[in-house]
């Protein structure tokens, strides 16, 4: 899969060239800070080292991640449900947290990532495609859409996984919300040129239209859902991308500036 590194969407106004995408940069910075302070990165001594840190990471994700069974049932997992989860390490126990708010956990899950590779992968897409969408929608609307799509994608995934073994596993990461940014970008800037690094060509930088890059990305996510890929919640990407595209379409249909 090609890695996007730069977009060349035309700014809607001359002021766009000097107005920084503060919301996009803020989301990236907050996600990075959460990773640094949490157990995944290994810098916070409060979570210990070795197997203690691995166990703490599992507890952390269950506490701050979005668990489908909790979202559907509207209450935290019971001790019995947690005991059924495979422990991250021998002797690692997960205790119920009656103070956890399932609805609020969707918000916190958007800023929790399972390691720096997970974070960098998500933030790269946000860094490339977020500024153009933020400029076109405006900062407040962009932030609201980002969060709303994240919630929609997470709850949609929870409904689809209801009753499955994965329903008690924590979902972490901003990929649903970022997929919404990709969908909105495709609607707003379908003919923009995107510079990508192609691994099969020794990471040669090539320029492709946004509709080709993002269309291929969406097709791969859809194929992964159909193929039953494990380890990644591909359905979250599909729902988020579709919701983002529809949101941008609705915004344009209300008489705002036409996409270029």
At 206 the pLDDT is 63
Mean pLDDT of 229-247: 87
Q: Reading across the β-sheet that carries 193-198, which strands appear in turn?
A: 3-8, 193-198, 204-209
Q: Give the span between the Cα atoms of 210 and 233, in whole angstroms.
A: 24
Q: Does 224 have pLDDT greater than 80?
A: yes
Contact yes or no for 184/161 (Cβ under 8 A): no
Helix, strand or coil, per DSSP, at residue 221: helix
Q: Give the span between the Cα atoms of 9 and 11, in whole angstroms.
A: 6
Helix axes 234-253, 175-188, angle to 10 degrees: 40
At 230 the pLDDT is 62
State the residue for tokens 């997929």: 179
At 1 the pLDDT is 57
pTM: 0.86
pLDDT tens digits for range 3-15? 665 566 665 554 5
Helix, strand or coil, per DSSP, at residue 74: coil
pLDDT tens digits for range 40-94? 888 888 888 888 899 999 999 999 999 999 999 999 998 888 888 888 888 888 8
Q: Give the span between the Cα atoms of 127 and 25, in whole angstroms.
A: 8
Helix, strand or coil, per DSSP, at residue 195: strand
Phi, psi of 156 (to 5 degrees): -65, -40
Burial class (CB in 10 A: 0-12, 13-18, 19+), 209: middle
**Closest among 231, 136, 219, 130 to 181, alpha carbons compared:** 130
Q: Give the span between the Cα atoms of 83 and 95, in whole angstroms.
A: 8
């Amino acid at each position: 899969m090609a890695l996007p590194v730069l977009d060349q969407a035309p700014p809607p106004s001359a002021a766009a060239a000097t107005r920084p995408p503060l919301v996009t940069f803020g989301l990236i910075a907050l996600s990075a800070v959460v990773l640094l302070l949490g157990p995944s990165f290994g810098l916070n001594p409060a979570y210990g080292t070795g197997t203690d840190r691995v166990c703490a990471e599992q507890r952390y994700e269950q506490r701050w991640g979005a668990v489908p069974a909790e979202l559907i049932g509207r209450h935290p997992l019971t001790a019995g449900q947690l005991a059924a989860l495979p422990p991250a390490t021998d002797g690692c126990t997960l205790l119920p947290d009656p103070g956890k708010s399932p609805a609020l956990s969707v918000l916190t899950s958007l800023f929790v990532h399972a390691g720096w590779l997970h974070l960098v992968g998500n933030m790269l897409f946000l860094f490339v495609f977020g500024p153009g969408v933020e400029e076109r929608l405006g900062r407040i609307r962009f932030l609201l859409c980002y969060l709303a799509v994240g919630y929609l994608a997470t709850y949609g995934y929870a409904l689809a996984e209801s009753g499955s073994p994965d329903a008690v596993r924590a979902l972490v990461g901003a990929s649903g919300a970022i997929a919404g940014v990709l969908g909105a970008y495709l609607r707003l800037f379908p003919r923009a040129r995107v510079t990508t690094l192609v691994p099969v060509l020794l990471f040669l930088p090539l320029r492709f239209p946004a509709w080709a890059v993002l269309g291929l990305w969406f097709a791969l996510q859809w194929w992964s859902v159909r193929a039953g890929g494990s380890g990644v919640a591909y359905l979250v990407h599909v729902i988020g991308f579709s919701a983002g595209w529809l949101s941008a379409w609705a915004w344009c249909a209300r008489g705002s500036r036409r996409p270029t």
